[in-house]
Amino acid sequence: MKLERHYSTGRAAQILGVSKRTLYGWIRQDKIKCGRLPNGHYRIPETEILKMLYVHEKNVLNQDKTLQNVVKRSC
């Protein structure tokens, strides 16, 4: 059985391209699941990071399509 990799909030934020403050907001809003160490530090599972990257990519692609439609209409 392979154990899942977990990341610190700093590293996870870096991978996701957001600030640590944004990541903490997502944790509080339950947009991203995480564990907590005895010292209170969060650890984010790799699968959660991948989910957020997928959601972000879909949003970017949808925004790009919307932008393309606006540009087409204005030409």
- In 1-75, DSSP assigns E strands to 6-7, 35-36, 42-45
Report field, pTM of the whole predicted structure over 0.85: no
State the Cα–Cα distance between residues 47 and 51, nearest whole angstrom: 6
State the Cα–Cα distance between residues 75 and 68, nearest whole angstrom: 11
Per-residue pLDDT of the chain (75 residues; tens, 9 = 90+): 678 899 999 999 999 889 999 999 999 999 999 999 999 999 999 999 999 988 877 665 565 555 455 445 544
Helix axes 9-16, 20-28, angle to 10 degrees: 100
- In three-state secondary structure terms, 45 is strand
| 52 within 8 A of 37, measured Cβ to Cβ | no
The reported pLDDT for the residue numbered 71 is 47
Structural domains of the chain, with CATH: 6-74 (1.10.1660.10)
